[in-house]
Each structure stands twice: as structure tokens, then as C-alpha cells.
Amino acid sequence: MLFPFLPDIKYSNNKRWLVNRILKKQYVNRPEERVRLGVLEQLLAVAGWSTQRIGFEINTKHETSDLLRTDLIAYDKKFKPEILIECKASDIKINEAVIKQAFRYNQQLNADWVICTNGLQCTAFLRDSGTKNFALKDAHPLSTTNFIAQKPTDDFWQRKGFLGNKAIYSAAKEWLVKDFTGIKPMYWLDLPAFQPNQSFSYFYAQWPTQLKLWYSFVSLADESSWLVLVDAANKPARIIALCVSLPIEIKKAHLTLLRFSNEKWENDSLPINEFENIITLEALKDFLL
């Protein structure tokens, strides 16, 4: 997916759910659903589409198929289908088969735009008003070329699952804001649980200078916030998770630190005074790894 176009996250019964903020519904955290709700955010932010003119899983028919169900449809002001968007999980390439599927869906809908995306790769076609034929287009309603990213609010960080409601160290907040700005690719990593139904599986970015190092900030069901590093240069990968929420007991001397190596989690800690003396995220990474 592309930051900042990420789905809203909600915890319920200690489980992470995806939230459709238009329909006010929550969905099981599945790969294709993550993409669809992320693309919804992109449509709203980039194309400025009205929330009242977006349809989800609209039924349509095809001459050789039973009832088909589209992912997203954006309607014009006369409520005629203008954009059909077919969403696939991030690990599925947008190939000829996916494109043909989208055009089968569009046979009855007759939208002018047909877009296929897996959250990172996007292929778009526009109908020519004269010939009525579709042509591949580089610029399309989901194009981010002219998008001006705004500084995310605290509400954004919490809705997207980066931060919980508990207060965090100001340095950690500064690192988060500095490193997650503008548009950047993020990849969902499925990580081993450290407690029942508790894991740091989430969207991660590649470290700028180390392609096999991933990092993110992740909130948990208890509203705590964690800085998580995934070192994939090792087999199996090493994971380090540092709780950056302010301790309830002000005089507490250590921050909770979890380490995953040799296929098991181990509890560790980091003295608060050592953490507070670290100025940059790069320095903290070097210190922890």
C-alpha cells in the first residue's frame, strides 16, 4: 500500500479489524480488504471523490457468467458509473487475467474508467469519447503525481493503527512524523504472535539504506505504541519491539523490549535514561540491533 492511503484500524475483543469509515462497518483483516479500503482512502484523498457517490461490492451480470460483484464503483454527479476499480491482494500481479476480469465486470456497468490495482501497482484504462475504445493511461483518478501530502494529525496516527491512545515519548513521536511523511510504499508483514491474538503484524516501510530491514510504529489492543524493527537479513528474521508509551509509573526505570530470534520471543528491557539519550531513530536502530 501507499502511505498515507491506509485503511482505518480498530481493535475489538483483542482482535484487529479493518474499518470502512463510509459504511461504518468493520471487516476481517484480509489482504484484499486491506487493499480495497486503502484504495478507498486514495480515491477520497487524491480524486476528492464524494463519499456519497462510492459503491462497494455492487452486483453486476456478464453474458457468460453468474452474478458478479465489483470491488469499488465511483459514480458521477448523475450517479452514472464513472470509475470501476478492481482490487487485488498486494501479492497478486496486475496481469492480463485481472484486466479481463475487470472488463467483464464493466460490460454491464459501462464505466468510462476501468482501474486495476493491488495497492502499489495500478493499471488504468479510459474510454475514448469518439471511438468508444479503451486506452491505457498513465494519468488517472488514483494518480498521486499532483497530490500534496498534509502533515498527519494525531487522529490519523491512531485511526491507522500506528499509535494507541496512551501518551508516548516526544522523541518517538518526532521520529514517526519525520519518517512517515509524503507518499511512500508500505508492505504488510505477517509476524509471529507474542501472546494469543497479539502480534506486530502491520504495514512496514523499508529502511532507506538497508533493503532487508523493515520498520514501523504499531499500536496494540491495550492502546500502547511500539517501535518495531524486522531484520530480514537473518533466517529466520529477527524482530525487535520497543514500547514507546510513557510508563504509568513515572519513576519506572526501564522500557519494555521484546526480541524474537531462533523462532521464539524473549522479554528484555531498555533503561529509560539510555533511551532518552538517543537523539535519532538511526542511532536507536544501531543501538538495538
pLDDT in tens, 221-233: 999 999 999 999 8
pLDDT tens-place string over residues 99-134: 999 999 898 899 999 999 999 999 999 999 888 899
CATH 3.90.1570 for the 2-137 domain, yes or no: yes
Do 125 and 141 touch, CB atoms closer than 8 A? no
Q: Give the span between the Cα atoms of 264 and 5, in whole angstroms.
A: 33
Q: Which band of pLDDT confidence, cut at 50, 70 and 90, is reported for residue 14?
A: confident
Q: Write down the residue that cell numbers 493511461 correspond to.
A: 137
Q: Which band of pLDDT confidence, cut at 50, 70 and 90, is reported for residue 31?
A: very high
Surface-to-core class of residue 81, CB atoms within 10 Å of its CB (0-12 exposed, 13-18 middle, 19+ buried): buried
CB-facing half-sphere around the CA of 206: CA atoms within 13 A: 10
- Per-residue model confidence (pLDDT) at position 268: 94
Q: Give the span between the Cα atoms of 20 and 37, in whole angstroms.
A: 7
Question: For the chain, what percentages of helix, strand and coil (3-state, to nearest 5) are there?
Answer: 20, 40, 40
Cell of 80: 452514472
SS3 268: strand
Q: Rounded to two decimals, what is the model's pTM?
A: 0.91
Whether pLDDT at 200 is above 90: yes
Whether pLDDT at 61 is above 80: no
- Per-residue model confidence (pLDDT) at position 204: 97
The structural domains of the chain, with segments of one domain joined by +, span 2-137, 154-288
Q: Give the span between the Cα atoms of 242 and 54, in whole angstroms.
A: 40
Do 241 and 193 touch, CB atoms closer than 8 A? no
Q: Give the span between the Cα atoms of 175 and 157, in whole angstroms.
A: 13
